[in-house]
Chain A
Amino acid sequence: MLTRLKGGHVVDPANGVNGVTDLYMKDGQLVSAPTEPLSADEAIDLSGHVVMAGAIDIHSHIAGGHVNTARLLLPEWHRAFSSRPGETALSRVGWTTEETGLRYAEMGFTTVVEPAMGPQAALHAHLELADIPIIDKATLVVLGNDDLLMSMIRDGESEAAIADYVAWTVASSRALGVKCINAGGSAAFKDNVRAFSLDDQVPDYGVSSRQIVKTLQKAVHDLKIPHPLHVHCNNLGVPGASSDAAEATIAASEGLPLHLAHIQFYGYGTEGKRGFSSEGRRLAALINANPDVTVDIGQVMFGQTVTISSDELRQFAGRAQASPKKSIIFDHEANGGGVVPMDYKATSFFNALQWAIGLELFLLIEDPSRVFFTTDHPNGAPFTTYPDIFALLMDREVRARWIEALPKGVAKWTSLPEITREYTLEEIAVMTRASPARLLGTSDRGHLGAGATADISVYRPSDDKAEMFGKAAYVFKDGRLVVKNGSVVARPYGRALTLKTEADKGMEARLDRYFDEAYGLSAQWFKVRGEALGRETPFREVSCL
C-alpha cells in the first residue's frame, strides 16, 4: 500500500531537506514520489507538523545482566512494588523491557543501542532486546579487559590474529560494534589495583591501557566495522584524573576515528575549595580541534537513578556514593561491572555542576554531527528525561530558569550562563538522526530519502520543546503507525541490528580450545542464535564498510 504523508515540514538534513514537502512510503520503506501524487492508497495530512526520521540513541543501557541486576536491586522504585505509591523515585523510567520500547517510541525514537554487552552475557542481552517492543535495537560488545586480548598483545601476536578474535566476538555475540571500557582497569582491579590510567600497565600482563585501546581501535578499523571503537575512558568521574584521561584518549586517536562515551563524566577539574570544577570548555575545545573524535554526552539530570557500568573499578569506588546504600559488583571474566544507585540532587553543588558541564559540552562542541544526545541511560538520568534536555538545548530561557534554581555559587563555576546558543530543529535532527545513523553504519535509517526504512517521527510544533518532543503526534515504525498523539497504538517487535561479519575458521578452532582449557567453558555458549530468541525475524544485518 502506498501512503502519502502530506504537507509536513520535513527536517531531513541527511538529504538537505528542511521545508514543507510530501513523503511516500510503501512496504515499510520510503519511496520516491509517484508521478501522480493522488495515486496513493492512503494520505495522512501532516500539515503544521514537523517530520523527522525516527530518532536513534547510540548509548543507552537497556538490556543485559547488569541492567537486569539493577532492576533486581531496586524493586522499591518500581511503581507497582506495593499497592501504595502511584509515584515512586523511578516511576517514570522505562524499567521493564516492555516499558523501554513504549516510552522510547512515544518520544519518536525508533532505534536504540545497548552499548555494553559482555560476550558471556550476549544471549541474555538479546533475550531482553527481543522482548522490547516497537524499536529496533543493537549492541556493542565489550572487549579490553579480557585475558585473551591482553595475552595476545603481550605476546606480540599479529594485528590480523587480533582482528580475527575481535571478528569472532562480534559475530558470536551478534553485535553491531565494539566497546572498550576502562581498558585494563577491571583486570587491574582484580589484582587489587585501585587507580588506573591510560599509561598504567595491567599487572601480570604488562600491557598498558593505551596499548589495549590502540590495538582495538586498529582492529575495528581493519575489520571495516562502521562504528569506530566506542571508548569509555579511564578514571570516569574522578576530578582532575577524568579530564586528563579524556584529553589523553582524544590525543591518542592519532588519525583514526574514535568515539568517546558519556564525555560529561570526564569534564571534572579540581579547582575551588570543594576541589570540583568544570573542564567542559577545555574538553569541548579539544574535541572541536580533533575531527577524528566523536562523543556522546551522558547528561546528568536531577533525581533518583542507578548507575550501571562494566567499569568494575569505578563502580566499586562509587559504592561510597551509593544512594540508597547498597550496590552489586561483579567479578566476571573480562570486564565485570557494577550497579550503584545514585540520587543526583538539585541542591548539591557537585550534582548541579555535573548538570551544567553536560550542557556546556552539548553547546560548546560546534559540530552537531560529532556530539550525540545521551544521558548514558540510566547513569546520568533515565532516558525519559530527554524531552527536558531538548528544551534545555533549544531554549536559552529555559536554561536560564534552571540555572537560576541551582545552588548558590554553582553559576560562577560554569560558563553555561554566558552561552547563548540554541539548537535548531535541523541541528537536533543532525544530532539524533543523521549522524547516529552514519556513525553506526546503518544507512537505511536516520534519513527520509527513498529506500530508507520508514521509521518516521512527527511532532506538533510548540514553544514548549519538552512538550513537543515528549509526545510525538505520530510515529511510524517500518511504515506502520505505532504512536498517535503520544500514545502507543501498536506494538510490533523490532529487530536487533547486527554486523554482517564472519569468524575466521582458524580462530574458531583456537577459541574452542582456549575457552575450554582456560575457563572450562564451551565457546559455543558465547554464540547467540536467533532461534533461541523466539521472534520470527530477530536480526537485521548491517554491512561492513
Chain B
Amino acid sequence: MTFRPASVICRLGTESDDDLSTQWIDGRPVSTAEAVRAAAEHLAASRLPVLTGDFNDISAIRAGLRVAALAGGVVDHEGLEAIRPAIEAIRDAGIVMGAPAEIRRRADRVLVIGPDPFEGQDALFEQIFAVAPDIGARTKGKTREIVWLGASEPQRFAKASGEARSIGCPAAELTEAVGIVRAALAGRRFADGPFEPGGARALAGWLVDAGFGAVVFKADAFDAIGFEEIAGLVSDLNARTRATALPVFAGSAFGSAQAATWATGFPMRVSFGRGAPDHDMELFKADRLIGSGEAEAVLLVAAGEGRAGVSSDAATILLSTEEPPAGSSVKVAFRIGRPGVDHDQVALEPRFGSFVAHAASAPDPDAPSSAALILSMIADHLAEMAAEKGAAA
C-alpha cells in the first residue's frame, strides 16, 4: 500500500470544486469553493466560534488549530473529558511510564489495576502478552507473572504467556488499595482495606522483587487522584527496583491533545479569542459553550458513523463522513472521507507509543475530501480575509 502524496490529495480537492454532491449550504448542494467561503465567513463573523469533534487524524487537528487561530476560536476534542484526569495528574505530579514494546520484552511482573485496559485493544494485548520477557539480566527467560487488582478472576489473561491471578477489589476502592500498597512499601502503618490480611504487604513485596515491573491501567478509568496514586506507586518502586507505568489510552483524544500541545503549548481546551492561545479545561469546554449559547458558530468534525446529527442554535459547520440529516440545523456541511480508509491518516498508535502514518486502506479517487483538506482550505480563506482586511485598514 502506498501513501498517497498530499499534492495528489490537494489536486483532488480542487478538481472536486465542480462536484456538488459533497457539500451543502442550508441543505443546498454547492461547490467546494462556495462552501469553504461560507464556512470561513460564518467563523469570521462569530464572536465565539467553537471547533470540536473527534479529529481522528492528526492532520485534521493541525488544520483545525490553524482555523481556530485565524478565527479567534476555541478548540476542544469530544474525547478530552475522559482523559482530562490523566492529563491533570501527569502535569501535576509526573510519572514514570513505559512503551508497550519495552514492557513486552522486559516486564517479568505486571500489575493490572482496575477495569480491563485491553478492552477493544486486542492488538496491544497480543503485543505485550504473546511472549515471555527475553531481554535483561534480571528478567530474561522468566515466566511472566500477572496480578490483576480489581478483577474477580484473571480470565482475560488465559492466553497470555505467563501466570495470572486476580485480587478482588471494588472499583470504588482501587485508589485506596493502591495507597495501601504504597504504605506497605514505605513501611508505614495501614489498614487492610480491600485486601485480605497480609495481602497488601505480599503484593508490595511481589512488586519490589520484580526485575522490571509494569503497572498497567486504563487511562480514563481513574480520576486525577487515582491516576496520581498509581503514578506514585511506580515512582516509589523505582527507589528500589525498576518499574514503569502503562496508562492505556483509547481513541484519538490523547493524540490530538499532543498535537495541540506542540501547536499551542497546551493539550486543549484552548481559545485563541485573545490572540495567543489561552488554556482552561472548564472555561473552554465545547459542550458547555454550545449548551449555554455562548458559542456563536460551531464547527464539528465527525468522522465516526452515526455522528452527523447536530443540535445547536449556533450556525453549525459540519464535516462528517455521513450526509447531514434533512432538517438539521447545519448551515454548511461537508461530506468528508474516512481517515485511514479513503484517505491517509496520521494517528497515535498505542503499540508504538507514538504516531504512525497509515496509508488509506481503500483509496478511492472519487472519495470526498479529507477533513484536513477542508479545514486547510477554510484556514486559507480565513487568512486571505484577514490579509484583505489588513490591506484595507
Chain A residues at the B interface, C-beta cutoff of 8 Å: 63, 65, 67-68, 71-75, 78-83, 95-98, 120-121, 123-124, 127-128, 131, 147, 189-192, 203-204, 316, 322, 326-333, 336, 518-521, 525, 528-529, 531-536
* Cα distance, A324 to B329, chains bound together (Å): 48
A120 to B90, CA, bound (A): 22
- Beyond A72-B87, A73-B91, A520-B127, 7 additional pairs, beta carbon < 8 A: A71-B265, A78-B266, A96-B265, A203-B137, A332-B102, A534-B372, A536-B6
| Set B3, B99, B140, B258: member contacting A331, Cβ < 8 A | B99
C-alpha gap A525/B266 in the complex (Å): 26
- A81: nearest residue on chain B (CB-CB)? B279
A121's partner among B87, B278, B351, B354 (CB-CB below 8 A) is B354
Cα-based distance from A311 to B103 in the complex (angstroms): 19
Q: Is the CB of B101 within 8 A of A532?
A: no
What residues on A are CB-neighbors of B357 within 8 Å? Answer: 123, 528-529, 531-532
Query: Can you pick out 28 interface pairs between chain A and chain B where the beta carbons lie within 8 Å of each other?
Result: A72-B90, A74-B91, A75-B279, A80-B274, A80-B278, A96-B264, A123-B346, A127-B58, A128-B262, A131-B62, A190-B102, A190-B136, A192-B212, A192-B241, A204-B135, A316-B96, A329-B238, A330-B98, A331-B96, A331-B244, A332-B98, A333-B99, A333-B101, A333-B102, A520-B101, A520-B104, A525-B349, A532-B59
CB-CB under 8 A for A534 and B62, given A63-B262, A333-B102: yes
Nearest CB of chain A from residue B83's CB, rounded to whole Å: 12
Chain B residues near A124 (CB, 8 Å)?
Answer: 258, 354-355
Collect the chain B residues with CB atoms within 8 Å of residue A96's CB. Answer: 262-265, 277
- What is the minimal beta-carbon distance from A422 to any residue of chain B, in angstroms? 37
B26 to chain A, nearest CB (A): 31
CA distance A124 to B355 in the complex (A): 6
Contacts of A72 in B (CB 8 A): 87, 90-91, 258, 261, 267
Residues A518 and B346 in contact, CB atoms below 8 Å apart: no
Checking B135, B241, B265 against A78 with a beta-carbon cut-off of 8 angstroms, the contacting residue is: B265
Q: Are B138 and A192 in contact (CB under 8 A)?
A: yes
B259: which A residues are within 8 A, CB to CB? Answer: 127
B261 surroundings in chain A (CB, below 8 A): 68, 71-72
- Interface residues in chain B, defined as those with a beta carbon under 8 Å from any beta carbon in chain A: 3-7, 58-59, 62-63, 87, 90-106, 126-128, 130, 134-140, 211-212, 238, 241-242, 244, 258-259, 261-267, 274, 276-280, 344, 346, 349, 351-357, 372, 376
Complexed CA–CA distance, A63 and B106 (Å): 28
Query: CA A409 – CA B102 in complex, angstroms?
Result: 47
Known contacts: A147-B105, A531-B4. The answer to whether A120 contacts B126 by CB under 8 A is no
Most chain B Cβ neighbours within 10 Å, of A79, A322, A519: A519
Closest 4 CB pairs of A and B: A331-B98, A520-B127, A203-B137, A532-B357
In the bound complex, residues from chain B placing their C-beta under 8 Å from that of A535 are 6
Which chain A positions have C-beta within 8 A of B3? 529, 531-532
Given A75-B91, A127-B355, A531-B6: A191 touches B138 (CB 8 Å cut-off): yes
A228 to B: closest C-beta gap in Å: 28
CA distance A190 to B106 in the complex (A): 8
Q: CA A336 – CA B98 in complex, angstroms?
A: 8
- B97 near A331: Cβ-Cβ < 8 Å: yes
Among residues of A, the one whose C-beta sits closest to the C-beta of B356 is A525
Q: Are A131 and B354 in contact (CB under 8 A)?
A: no
* B266 in complex: contacting residue of A75, A191, A328, A533, CB < 8 Å: A75
Asked if residues A521 and B352 are in contact (CB atoms below 8 Å), the reply is yes
Closest to A533 in B: B6
List residues of chain B with CB within 8 A of the CB of A532.
3, 59, 344, 346, 357
Contacts of B62 in A (CB 8 A): 127, 131, 534
Tell me whether B97 and A328 are in contact (CB under 8 A).
Answer: yes
From the candidates A83, A121, A189, A520, name the one contacting B130 in the complex (CB within 8 A). A520
CA distance A66 to B3 in the complex (A): 27
Distance in angstroms from B332 CB to nearest chain A CB is 23
CA of A326 to CA of B5, assembled, Å? 42
Report Cα–Cα, A534/B136, bound state, in Å: 40
How far does the Cβ of A499 sit from chain B's closest Cβ, in whole Å?
20
Bound-state CA distance A182–B237 (Å) is 24
CB distance from A98 to the nearest CB of B (A): 7
Q: How far is the CA of A182 from the CA of B136 in the complex (A)?
A: 18
Question: Which residue of B90, B105, B212, B372 is within 8 Å of A328 (Cβ)?
Answer: B90
Q: In the complex the two chains form, what is the Cα distance from A147 to B135 in whole Å?
A: 9
Cβ–Cβ < 8 Å partners of B265 in chain A: 71, 75, 78, 80, 95-96
**Contact yes or no, B92 A204, CB < 8 A:** no
| Chain A residues, Cβ within 8 Å of B135 | 147, 204
Which B residues lie within 8 Å of A190 (CB)? 102, 106, 136, 212, 242
Instruction: Give A63 to B259 CA distance when docked, in angstroms.
Output: 11
Q: How far is the CA of A223 from the CA of B261 in the complex (A)?
A: 37
Contact status A123-B355, CB under 8 Å: yes
The residue of chain B having its C-beta at the shortest distance from the C-beta of A123 within the complex is: B355
C-alpha gap A488/B246 in the complex (Å): 42
> Within the complex, what minimum Cβ distance (angstroms) separates A311 from chain B?
15
Instruction: Provide the residues of chain A in CB contact with B280, threshold 8 Å.
Output: 82
Determine whether the beta carbon of A127 is less than 8 Å from that of B354: no
CA separation between A519 and B137, bound complex, in Å?
A: 18
Kindly list chain B residues whose C-beta atoms are within 8 Å of the C-beta of A520: 100-101, 104, 126-128, 130, 351
How far, in angstroms, from A420 to B166 measured CA to CA in the complex? 70
Chain B residues whose C-beta falls within 8 Å of the C-beta of A97 in the assembled complex: 262-263
The answer to whether B277 touches A80 (Cβ under 8 A) is yes
What is the chain A residue whose CB lies nearest that of B244? A331
Minimal Cβ-Cβ distance residue in A for B212: A190
Provide the residues of chain A in CB contact with B276, threshold 8 Å.
79-80
Other-chain residue from A316, A328, A519, A528 in contact with B104 (beta carbon distance below 8 A)? A519
CB pair A189–B278 under 8 Å, yes or no, is no
Q: A72-B87, A531-B3 are in contact. Are A326 and B242 (CB under 8 A)?
A: no
Distance of A98 Cα from B134 Cα, bound (Å) = 43
Kindly list chain B residues whose C-beta atoms are within 8 Å of the C-beta of A65: 354
Q: Name the residue on A nearest B257 (C-beta).
A: A72
Give every chain A residue within 8 A of B264 (Cβ-Cβ): 96
Docked pose: A190 CA to B5 CA in angstroms = 40
A518 to B105, CA, bound (A): 8
**Docked pose: A322 CA to B95 CA in angstroms:** 13
Closest to B5 in A: A531
